[in-house]
Amino acid sequence: MNARRKMVDELLETIIEEHMENANKQQERYDFVDVMLSLMESDYMQHVKFDHGHIKSILIDVLAAGMDTSANVLNLAFPELLRHPKVMYKVQQELKQEVGMDRMVEEMDLPKLSYLNIVIKEILRLHYPVAPLLIPHESTEDIVINEYYIPKKSRVLVNVWALGRDPNVWSEDAEEFNPDRFINLDIDIHGRDFQLIPFGSGRRGCPGMQLGLVMVKYILAQLLHCFNWEVPDGVSPSDLDMTKKLEAKRDDVRDEERRRHGGKVSEIGGEGFSEKSRVEKEEASWTCGDEVNEKEGEGFNTKSRGGEGGGARRAHEAKETLHKREGTKDEAKR
């Protein structure tokens, strides 16, 4: 880990030194690093410590944010393209026409790949893999918007995920992946048009937006230009499920059980469940006819487990078992 940290530090230091040399040569190129270097020498920062270490930290934030989020976009792009092979074919035909097959895609080719650009727009519209609620904002004054009163200093979350799926904006097929919708729509992705703001807008917009877009376009273009992609044999493109699910991790469930049962969780009932909750669940299963038997994997009612009244008997047995176990624990404590 220390070796990697040292390697990254040396790389960033090299970048800073190159920009300092270019500044001394008065070259015309002026980017984000040059801005931060100029701040180090400005009177504006004379009362604030701002050195190479701060510049490196900011660069790491920008680079890391751009790489991680770009990977998320690519992870969503390929399943959608596999589900819609006609769209993939259109992108590949565009690459064949604009780039040719005798060389690799280069960064200078990206502005010419118009269909690839609208495919990426559609992926960001439909999935918003980075921040579906953007970053929290705070209202600076009392205001009324569409008859809603928003007090000063209210925390405001912008649901861009809902904006991207609003049928009033995108027509009735807003839930469908259809890049062709952008062919006749002049909608900017950089924050000018509020129908599509995956990176936010204004001065609070994502600082790594341009880096992320270039990385996604470049990598996706390279992979589609060099390879043909298809689902494995026996799998239909429609089998790919792009539905998002919100699930708690097992550790989260376990922590919740600890809070509910006094900080004690028994392994008898399975990881993440207390012994008490397991017995209560069995009691409910024997009493109710619409529960699922986890051991047998099928639904059952009171008649199927011991005949008429069998469910009530087992419910009573479950209660006695629970009382005995709790009594044993009390004896052990005394």
Q: Which amino acid is at 237?
A: P
217 close to 74: Cβ distance less than 8 angstroms: no
Q: How far apart are CA 224 and CA 228, in angstroms?
A: 7
CA distances from 16 to 34, 72, 155, 311, 314 (A): 8, 29, 37, 74, 74
Binding residue ranges:
206
Q: Which amino acid is at 202?
A: G
Binding residue ranges for heme:
206
Strand boundaries in the chain, DSSP class E: 137-138, 143-145, 148-150, 155-156, 292-293, 298-299
CA distances from 164 to 79, 97, 167, 191 (A): 19, 31, 9, 13
Virtual torsion, Cα 317, 323, 325, 331, nearest 10 deg = -150
